[in-house]
Amino acid sequence: MCGRFDLHTPRGLIAETWFGLTKPVGEVHARYNTAPGQSITIISLKDDQVRFSFAHWGYKPAWAGEEAPKPINARAETVANSKYFTHAFHHRRCLIPADGWFEWMATDQGKQPYYITDPSNGRRDVLFFAGIYTGDIEPGMSAAILTEPAAPNLRHIHDRQPVVLDPECRWDWLNPEITERDQVRQVAKRLDPSRLNSWRVSPRMNKPDYNDPSIIEPMGN
């Protein structure tokens, strides 16, 4: 699953590095501990234009009733066939940039948080989660992150993880003209999981309001 993540790389840098955009895309303060229900950055493609938008992290389509759930994740195995998600999967895919994410390992002493990232990433690189969204106008947009079974090198922490895309497939994933399920699955190339590493971090990050660069530093033994 993915219940918390970190994005401290500036949106403008992501826009220029990966999409060739030099116009302002709206900057925000670094958020090292993004939690469900908060506003997150999503990247989508509409009318051949890349859009950097803010969306509520908790997906809810416009047709859903007042008491309908607002899931933060959608399972990659079933998203294409789920009534709740199918339209977005086929027509409203997005990228959700992150520097890394958090998972919790069950231990005898309680749940221990871990931070997962690509430690080889430099200032100009981020991870791209596969996402889906609904709505067209801020602040009425909402999104969910696709998840899948965890890679072997991460499975000891948690049995699921976000779908982390290879950035080379970013245009195909966003392309609204690719709508068939098999086509979408074929273009969704994963980042090599061997690039991902993990380390223990302070349980202080369990509090969503704890937002500090120290949150992603390895915890001492």
Per-residue pLDDT at 153 exceeds 60: yes
Share of the chain above pLDDT 90, in %: 89
Distance CA 163, CA 122 (A): 21
Per the model's pLDDT, the better-predicted residue between 119 and 171 turns out to be: 171
H helix and E strand count, the chain = 4, 13
Is the Cβ–Cβ distance between 145 and 70 less than 8 Å?
A: no
Q: Assign 220 a pLDDT band (cuts: 50, 70, 90).
A: confident
Q: Which of 2, 67, 138, 217 is catalytic?
A: 2
DSSP sequence for 100-121 = EEEEEEEETTEEEEEEEE-TT-
In this structure, CATH architecture of domain 4-103+124-194: Alpha-Beta Complex (3.90)
Could you read off the pLDDT of 73-87 as tens digits, one per residue?
Answer: 999 999 999 999 999
Instruction: Tell me whether residue 138 is one of the annotated catalytic residues.
Output: no
Q: Which of 103, 138, 168, 217 is catalytic?
A: 103
Instruction: Tell me whether residue 77 is one of the annotated catalytic residues.
Output: no
